[in-house]
Structure 1
Amino acid sequence: MKKLFTLIALACMAWAMPAQAQVDFGVKAGLNLTNFSINDSKVLAAENKTGFFAGVTAKVTLPVVGLGVDGSVLYDQREAKLKATGTTLKQQSIQIPVNLRYGVGLGDIANIFAYAGPQFGFNIGGKNDSFDERLDNVNNWRFKDSNLSGNVGVGVTLLKHLQASVNYNFAIGKTGDFDSVGDAIDNIDKKTVKAKANAWQVSLAYFF
């Protein structure tokens, strides 16, 4: 699956090469509604929490009606609140989404589009964290140094400059993990529990 998304990203960048393509640059920011999905809820569970992202973006309009490619470099912060203790896990990363998009124009007023593609993430915050001392059966939280996710979304561009969009960002593979021991997992001596940081994202962008 990771190889497939990497090939899609390379194909998107290759299609953006024709000299007739139009390139627009801008800034982008938005909100994450993060859902940390933990594969063993008997050990630990997390609540949704809001984060944010911001950075620069570029849009390539291809010489094929309706097709385009967009890419961004974003600072991204996501959080999850652990239900058992109220402790908050914070993930800080640089995210690079690359999306293939298809749009339908409504004259010079608006363009409605759908998009999908891979997103490459690189952790820049603390990699390890400790849990509340009341959870003596879990420890050693670890964020991965890098992760791959995917995007599927829709949006609208108004007056060729202002863009609003909403998408679902889903993790491909684990975002992080922790070790659990003791009675919380039926007396198994030790087990690595995996977590994925999925998110609904709402964003605004302005192209110059």
Structure 2
Amino acid sequence: MKTKKLFSSLILLLMIATATNAQVRFGLRGEVGLNKPSFSKDIVEVENLTGFKLGPTAEFQLPLINLGIEGSLLYSNDKMNVTGISEGGVQSTVQKVSNHYLEIPVNLKYRFGSILPVKVFVAGGPYARFLLSGDDVKISDATENIKAKNFEAGINLGAGVEIFSRLAVGVQYGFILTDNYGTDKPEWKDALNGKDGTWALTATVYF
């Protein structure tokens, strides 16, 4: 019994010491979309999906094991062109749609090479996006404008390199788990929500 109590006490002290020695660092994170896809259906066409993100980030690093948890608060702006197509195949005026979001990604991050000035890292975790404002999509056959949804969610997976613990650059792929737009028409739904995922170039500067 005394041995179990001593072992439990040692584990508790180790956990407290680990939490005490853990490091927190702050930085500025940015992302640029690498996507310029084109989605076409019978009566709607979506082209040139681009976007960027920018905002503060914080990373909680566990000592000795090169593992950390990073959370960010990003302003996100997505842009795309939407064109309506009539029954005769004639394209109507191109709509330039821009949506503004507040995005919160949380990633588990692991580094390889603890004593090297250049470290390779892999990261992954969920994200949530909240619509701040955006442009409606107007299609001639729709009874009302199609609006972007107020909430989106997905999962990010990425990899990259970190230099002197100050600059991290990488590539990230985002799996989208929710629709960006809500509509009952399959043709419009498939075109507006037709992207399987998004690629982005990421960069973080730590202070």
Q: TM-score w.r.t. structure 1 length?
A: 0.75
**Would you tell me which structure has more strand in proportion to its own residues?**
1
Question: Which structure has the bigger radius of gyration?
Answer: 2
Runs of 5+ in structure 1 lacking a partner? 1-16, 186-190
Give the aligned partner of residue 193 of structure 1: 189
Distance of aligned partners of 1:145 and 1:65 in 2 relative to their CA distance in 1, 3 Å threshold: same
Residue 105 of structure 2, aligned match among 83, 97, 103: 97
Give the aligned partner of residue 89 of structure 2: none
Structure 1 stretch displaced more, 68-77 or 55-64 = 55-64
- The alpha carbon displacement at 1:103 in A equals 1.2
Distance of aligned partners of 1:175 and 1:155 in 2 relative to their CA distance in 1, 3 Å threshold: same
2:65 is equivalent to residue 60 of structure 1: no
Deviation per residue, 1:97-123 (Å, 9 max, x gap): 000111102634111111110001110
Q: Is the CA contact (8 Å cut-off) linking 2:101 and 2:129 kept in structure 1?
A: yes
Q: Which amino acid aligns with 1:161?
A: R
Give the aligned partner of residue 202 of structure 1: 201
User: What is the alpha-carbon distance in structure 2 between the residues aligned to residue 64 and residue 137 of structure 1?
Assistant: 60
Q: Secondary structure at the match of 2:105?
A: strand
**RMSD of the alignment, in Å?**
2.6
Deviation per residue, 1:122-176 (Å, 9 max, x gap): 10013x6142xxx421342111111111101101110110111210122111111
Q: Is the CA contact (8 Å cut-off) linking 1:54 and 1:75 kept in structure 2?
A: yes
User: What is the alpha-carbon distance in structure 2 between the residues aligned to residue 54 and residue 81 of structure 1?
Assistant: 22
> How many pairs does the alignment contain?
178
Give the aligned partner of residue 22 of structure 2: 21
Q: TM-score w.r.t. structure 2 length?
A: 0.75
Distance of aligned partners of 1:83 and 1:33 in 2 relative to their CA distance in 1, 3 Å threshold: farther
- The alpha carbon displacement at 1:18 in A equals 2.4
Identity %: 28
